[in-house]
């Protein structure tokens, strides 16, 4: 079994959440705190998913500033944790005392086939919440738009770097750009 990282847990979570039930954002600021993953439903309510990778990380969550202020737009709240935090012999979970009883718990695990999966260990209770206002929804869509295009630009840069590394000068076998003969000329690349 490989090690669980926040990025790996986030990937599993986002892959398993229903994209038709709402709009997903990662690392999004809402109600004075940064959400690891937040899902805005079509009706305008937010569900927050907080990723924890260790017991110390989970216990230390209570000291975060975002818990010191009211969070009026969070309708449901889940902790997403790796299966390593469950006592396998008892099938029980050592939940820190700072975790609200209304918080849900989702466990990610690796199947015998090597695939990542998740299951809901404890369902989150519905909280009294306000709908996310139109301005915040527009801000989240705009953030997603710019994040997407930054990703596209980053991938284009990566493709260019990969392409340049594979290109060799047919005359003198230099990698990248040949300083001896100036190869490749624009539009001329080796296979």
* Segment 9-20, tens digit of pLDDT: 999 998 888 877
Decide if 190 is inside a domain.
Answer: no
In this structure, the answer to whether residues 16 and 108 fall within a common structural domain is yes
42 and 127 in a single domain? The answer is yes
- Do residues 83 and 14 both lie within one domain? yes
Same structural domain, 116 and 160: no
- Host domain of residue 164: 133-175
Residues 79 and 155 in one domain: no
DSSP string computed for the chain: -PPP-HHHHHHHHHHHS-GGGEEEEEEEEETTEEEEEEEEETTS-EEEEEE--SHHHHHGGGG-GGGSS--TTEEEEEEEEEGGGEETTTTEE---TTS-TT-EEEEEEE-TTS-EEEEEEEPPPP---PPPPHHHHHHHHHHHHHHHHHHHHHHHHHHHHHHHHH-B-TTT--BSS-TTT-PSPTT----
Same domain, 116 and 149: no
Residue 98 domain flag: yes
Number of independent structural domains in the chain:
2
CATH number at residue 108: 3.40.1350
70 and 162 in a single domain? The answer is no
Question: pLDDT (tens digit, 0 to 9) for every residue of the chain, 191 residues total?
Answer: 568 899 899 999 988 888 777 888 888 888 777 888 999 888 889 999 999 998 888 888 777 777 767 788 889 999 999 988 876 544 566 677 778 888 899 999 998 888 899 999 889 999 898 898 888 888 888 888 888 888 888 888 877 766 666 555 556 655 555 555 555 554 444 44
Q: Are residues 123 and 159 in the same domain?
A: no
């Amino acid at each position: 079994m490989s090690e669980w990282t926040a990025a790996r847990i986030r990937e599993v979570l986002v892959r398993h959440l229903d994209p038709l039930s709402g709009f997903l954002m990662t690392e999004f600021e809402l109600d004075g705190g940064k959400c690891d993953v937040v899902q805005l439903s079509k009706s305008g309510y937010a569900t927050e998913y907080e990723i924890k990778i260790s017991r110390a990380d989970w216990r230390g969550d209570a000291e975060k500033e975002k818990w010191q202020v009211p969070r009026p737009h969070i309708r449901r709240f889940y902790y997403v944790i790796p299966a390593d935090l469950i006592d396998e012999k008892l099938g029980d979970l050592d939940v820190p005392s700072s975790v609200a009883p209304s918080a849900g718990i989702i466990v990610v695990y690796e199947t015998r086939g090597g695939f990542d999966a998740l299951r809901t260990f404890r369902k989150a209770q519905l909280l009294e919440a306000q709908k996310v206002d139109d301005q915040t929804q527009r801000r989240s869509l705009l953030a997603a738009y710019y994040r997407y295009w930054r990703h596209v630009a980053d991938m284009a840069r990566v493709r260019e770097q990969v392409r340049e590394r594979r290109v060799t000068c047919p005359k003198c076998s230099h990698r990248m750009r040949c300083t001896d003969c100036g190869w490749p000329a624009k539009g001329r690349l080796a296979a």
